[in-house]
Structure 1
Amino acid sequence: MKILMIEDNESVCSMVEMFFIKEGIQGEFVHDGKDGLQRYKDGEWDLLIIDWMLPSMDGVTICRRIREDNKSIPIIMLTAKDTESDQVLGLEMGADDYVTKPFSPLALMARIKAVARRSLQSGKEEETNVSHYLETQCFKISKETREVFLKNEPISNLTPKEFDLLYYFIEHPRQVFSREQLLERVWGYQFYGDERTVDVHIKRLRSKIGTPNQPFLHTVWGVGYKFDESVVEDEA
């Protein structure tokens, strides 16, 4: 695996580099935003790790520009910002996942492996050039083409992770999942204490596909979330 990491903290890069070497990962480290974007353009990469706060160009801008060129390359955002609005902005710009600083290198490696596995599996499915749709009363969704239709109208503004989460819910209608289960089964890594990423994605998905009386993604208080197409009179 070949990874480009754009991070201005050289101590963080040195720490991550040790784990890359241990895992047999070929890593390259750039400490400036504009230089990092140019290095991305000059090379071929399997995955990108981008810090939010960088000299000359911030990570969110880099992520947005990369997504204009490449919709599929996995991107993990590193950020010291932990408010929900910051997380939403990074995800909306196209990041597949984010890791909040300070972070455990083991947790970062787990997320790298999970994102890489999903990307590889997605590539294999696209190579078949065959679209298989899951259909429900309201939805039609294809993992191969990553198309979503809600009541026959296309939904084209989902981020990669929002799509993955919706697909998993549609695969398991009315089944209740905890945040920890969703992190493991959709994100692909075990719970490391950052369950807010699930809440952020649920909130964004509801705003894009649901209505107040038909949210599709329901909160089961004290347990987690479920997908249900039933109409409700009132839901907090």
Structure 2
Amino acid sequence: MSDLEKVLVVEDEDRIRKLIRMYLERENYEVIEAEDGETGLELALKEDFSVIILDIMMPGKDGIEVCKELREEKNTPVIMLTAKGEEANRVQGFEVGTDDYIVKPFSPREVVLRVKALLRRSSASTFSEIDSKTRDLIEFPHLLIDNDAHRVTADGNEVGLTPKEYELLVFLARAPDKVFDREQLLKEVWKYEFFGDLRTVDTHVKRLREKLSKVSKDAAKMIVTVWGVGYKFEVTEE
């Protein structure tokens, strides 16, 4: 069995698919290809991939639909490929759970760098190798975030989050009771300036609350909506 990180490339243009594959294989990634959304989704659900690179515009099942259906079952990191001028589609991509995007035309080296960065953000360290006293832990009643292991537990139950959901939770949790408006969260968490559409933040907050709520209602309540402003992380006294 291969020990290489496995990447799924879902892209209907054969030339782009082969180019991405060549550059990733040079960096010792195992690459699986899919030339349409239906095949890509089937592979993504059947096998475990470290990262999925997904073209947004494909005939049949497009990248938005693939990511939306994938997120119902898995938190695999997703990088979306978009064309210039597809601003609305890019926003849609973030709303359904995309973690990053790359605009065409792109440098294959950029793809490699984005894959490496996403893997760093989503990788977990081994508990036994790090002294608990030096761990990067964020602890509250009902919620524990182990930033070294990239692991979230609520009332003792592990919560599976996408990289972007995790980053949003950590950002809020590091500044309890501080209110952030949606523009601030987009800039700090997504590192991307949107033009007026702020639904991406609302969608991710909703998804984050739902996932926390499944294992701990108390943990979910810590993410508070400040009406007319934005969101904050609220810690109540036990």
* Gaps in structure 2 of 5+ consecutive residues: 131-136, 179-183, 206-223, 234-238
TM-score (norm 2): 0.62
Find the residue that maps to 2:58 and give its secondary structure. coil
CA distance 1:205–1:117, change in 2 (3 Å): same
Given candidates 201, 206, 219, the residue that maps to 1:204 is: 201
1:171-215 deviation line (CA, Å, top 9, x unaligned)? 3688xxx99x95xxx67xxxxxx8436997797259955536654
1:45-102 deviation line (CA, Å, top 9, x unaligned)? 22111111112211111111111111x2111111126555322211121211111212
Q: Superposition pairs for residues 16-165 of structure 1, below 5 Å?
A: 16-70=20-74, 72-80=75-83, 82-121=85-124, 124=126, 133-134=138-139, 142=145, 144-145=151-152, 160-165=163-168
Given candidates 15, 23, 29, the residue that maps to 2:19 is: 15
TM-score (norm 1): 0.62
How far apart in 2 are the matches of 1:107 and 1:12? 13
How many pairs were matched up? Answer: 193
What corresponds to 1:223 in structure 2?
Answer: none
User: Is the 2:91–2:200 Cα contact (8 Å) retained in structure 1?
Assistant: no
What corresponds to 2:181 in structure 1?
Answer: none
Find the residue that maps to 1:196 and give its secondary structure. coil
User: Is the 1:206–1:215 Cα contact (8 Å) retained in structure 2?
Assistant: no
Percent of counterpart pairs with the same letter?
30
Question: Which letter does structure 1 place at the counterpart of 2:10?
Answer: I
User: Is the 1:206–1:216 Cα contact (8 Å) retained in structure 2?
Assistant: no
Aligned-pair CA distance for 1:3: 0.7
Aligned-pair CA distance for 1:170: 4.3
CA distance 1:169–1:199, change in 2 (3 Å): farther
User: Is the 2:95–2:199 Cα contact (8 Å) retained in structure 1?
Assistant: no
What corresponds to 1:6 in structure 2?
Answer: 10
Aligned-pair CA distance for 1:162: 4.5
Question: Which letter does structure 2 place at the counterpart of 1:36?
Answer: G
CA distance 1:214–1:59, change in 2 (3 Å): closer
Greater Cα offset, 80-89 or 56-65: 80-89
* Gaps in structure 1 of 5+ consecutive residues: 148-155, 188-193, 218-226, 228-236
